Structure 1
Amino acid sequence: MLVTFESAQILDVTGPAEVFSTASRYLSGVAYEVAVASVGGGMVGSSSGIAFATLDIAGCRTPPDTLIVAGGRDMAEVVADRDLLSEVNRLAGGARRVASVCSGAFVLAAAGLLDGRRAATHWAECDLLRRTYPRVSVDGDAIYVRDGNVWTSAGVTAGIDLALALVADDHGRQAAARVARQLVVYLRRSGGQAQFSTVLEAQHADSEPIRDLVAWLPDHLGDDLTVGALAHRTHLSARQFSRVFRAETGSTPAEHVEAVRTEAACRLLETTQAPIDEIARRCGFGNPETMNRTFRRRLDTTPGQHRQHFGAPC
């Protein structure tokens, strides 16, 4: 069951719903029954202005197998709805698992369902969730978090990642991978992977030469990416380039290059069957030993272990 309210993010509802619907259509023996409920039922408007039909949550007497609460705007008003919190608590008590998408974590927290647990939410709401509900251990980086039978996810599209993880929990990784392929999304973002990539974060740089360089880097990982070479590309001295780059991105050029190479290697390990030595070469590590040392230092794992854990089935 998906729980929604006025001004909820429509993708928080339709994203997971489509994952479960697709699983039911394309996986043998799988039959998820998806229901959308709200306090009072009827047509409910979303934050995008699109309305959709809902059941009255009070009329749902049998607890669902999985209860998922959407996020949205005006969460201070939403968590003040005592009827909503009461119904969520009632249904959660009998559900096999409980989950939230994006700022839906505030509903679970207000209902006391996240006390003493780790949780994720939209990156922009992490500090507010920490301040408002100090008994919740907020993970500001995770795409989703599982703590016992309670699952929480980051913003908007992370609800799709969460739903795929729930399908994998029910029917195995290969089943979830088939659903992901049908939806044309990657089955690769895990609860332990960051909400933002290094490249995306650095694209907020104010300096145009630095922004252009950041955008150029992922397609040239095998090039000479030393400080001198990068400084030459931005028409700055090596010292000035290093100073400006750190001020704009929060990291040194070497740290940024290593992070981008690591992320690129992770994507190739997750989505291809390319040999590890080829991936090391393509991503600019030079050899598997260097890539292995970098993975151990940055991710506390090895390329082989990463592929085994996150790679798509052969």
Structure 2
Amino acid sequence: MSQLVGFFIYDEFQTVDLAGPLDVFATVNDLLSKEVYKLVTLASDMTPIRAESGLKTLADDTLINCQTLDVLVIIGGRGCQSVIKDQAVMTQLRRLAQGAQRIVSICTGAFIVAALWPQRALTLATHWGFTQRLAAQFPCVEVVSDKLFVQSDEVYSSGGLTAGIDLALSLIAKDHGAAMAQRVAQYMVMYVRRSGDQRQYSSLLNAQQTLSQRFQSAIEFVQDNIDKPLSVEILAEQVALSPRHFQRVFTDKMGISPMRFVQNLRLEKAKGLLCTSEHSIAHISVLTGFGSPPLLTRKFTQAYGVTPTQYRENFTAEVNE
């Protein structure tokens, strides 16, 4: 039996908040070759909706015409405060929420969810830039800033933007198992569940934002040769600098040495492989350039407090919760 999933959109909604989770559910339908999730977009009326990005779209139906939903997904965006002020819209949303098995908020959609039940002691996540405002606007809400997503009874909420995809994958795992969530993640070319919280940036992203274009060739070289022996001398050669000068500039810009950066990238790749593949620890140690399981295990444990095997077991348990 299919679940009816309604995505509430409004003027100045965030496009990624809608498209990311919507595509996750739609991919399950494609992979199973049947409509296990009936997906509809909902709005207050049938006039064109304009997203923050300027994209215009039409909803499939109106809130008042929708009689019941299994899952109500409330999208985030700059327009969320205007929604809260519209009592007619809030009344319809509250009606649908009361009959739904799950209420899901993406990013700043948490403000709308909190406004549905302002006296309810919910635990909610939202974009890290809006946590203080959410807590101040709704004192009964416990705001979580160190998680990609959280559950509070039948209410599920995610942090900013792409964290909605992580939450959708978690719901897929609950409904259809970890293997299906993994298939969807692989199809979408992403991890089935990212580790850490929404305030953390990967070493690679930090490098892309911090280093000059000249140094990008060295970063690309590391990515392409992560399984091979690497040294400061080899990396310095990619940007035609002396090893000493390369080490000094890189450390000054990044706050860590080049070889610590390489190690961090190797560890991040190891985490991804532990979550999205069935490779042995020995094979992962080769693919990530550590060369031997003992070295991978030692560095991984120092960085994350658990062994690679424990990390994989914990990850599998979380997905199956």
Q: Counterpart of 1:102 in 2: which secondary structure? A: coil
Q: Output the amino acid matched with 1:13.
A: L
Distance in 2, Cα, partners of 1:233 & 1:173: 41
Corresponding residue pairs, total:
308
Per the alignment, do residues 208 and 126 of structure 1 end up closer, same or farther by CA in structure 2, a change over 3 Å counting? farther
Residue 16 and residue 151 in structure 1: after superposition, are their counterparts in 2 closer, same or farther (change >3 A)?
same
Residue 196 of structure 1 deviates from its aligned partner by 3.7
Residue 14 of structure 2 corresponds to residue 4 of structure 1? no
Distance 1:130 1:256 in 2: 36
Q: Give the drift of 1:167.
A: 1.7
Q: When the two structures are superposed, what TM-score results if normalisation uses the length of structure 2?
A: 0.77
In 2, Cα distance between equivalents of 1:224 and 1:197: 22
The residue type paired with residue 58 of structure 1 is: I
In structure 1, the residue matched to 2:276 is 271
Q: Cα gap change, 1:150/1:190 in structure 2, threshold over 3 Å: closer, same or farther?
A: farther
Identity among equivalent pairs (%): 32
Distance 2:115 2:81 in 1: 10
- 1:245 matched to which residue of 2? 250
1:137 correspondence with 2:143: yes
Residues 145-154 or 271-280, more deviating: 145-154
Which residue, out of 96, 100, 104, partners 2:105? 100
Matched, 1:288 2:296: no
Q: Where does residue 203 of structure 2 map in the other structure?
A: 198
**Aligned mate of 2:125, from 114, 119, 129:** 119
**Within the alignment, does 1:55 sit opposite 2:61 as a pair?**
yes
Structure 1: distance between partners of 2:243 and 2:224: 23
Q: Which amino acid aligns with 1:172?
A: G
Report the secondary structure of 1:145's partner residue. strand
Q: Distance between the aligned counterparts of 1:90 and 1:39, measured in 2?
A: 13
Given the superposition, is the C-alpha separation of residues 265 and 12 from structure 1 closer, same or farther in structure 2, using an over 3 Å criterion? same
Alignment RMSD: 3.5
Report the secondary structure of 2:38's partner residue.
Answer: coil
Give the partner amino acid of 1:217: V
Aligned partner of 1:218: which letter? Q
After superposition, the C-alpha distances for 1:107-154 in whole angstroms (9 at most, x for unaligned) are 224445785515143x555565566557443335x4433344322224
> What CA deviation, in whole Å up to 9, does each residue of 1:204-223 have, x standing for no partner?
12434444333332222244
SS for the counterpart of 2:58 is strand
Q: How big is the shift at 1:173?
A: 1.5
Matches within 5 A, 1:183-262: 183-186=187-190, 188-190=192-194, 192=196, 196-227=201-232, 230-231=235-236, 234=239, 235-236=241-242, 238=244, 241-262=246-267
CA deviation after TM superposition for structure 1 residue 99, in Å:
1.1
- In structure 2, the residue matched to 1:44 is 49
Q: In 1, distance between residues paired with 2:262 and 2:253?
A: 15
Identify the match of residue 70 of structure 2 among 65, 69, 88: 65
Q: Corresponding residue for 2:158? A: 153
Gaps of 5+ in 2: 1-5
| Corresponding residue for residue 77 of structure 1 | 82
Question: Which sits farther off after the overlay, 48-57 or 129-138?
Answer: 129-138
Asked if structure 2 preserves the Cα contact closer than 8 Å seen for 1:75 and 1:103, the reply is: yes
Task: Give the 4+ runs in structure 1 shifted more than 6 A.
Answer: none
Kept after mapping to 2: 8 A contact 1:70/1:103: yes
One of 29, 36, 46 as aligned partner of 1:31: 36
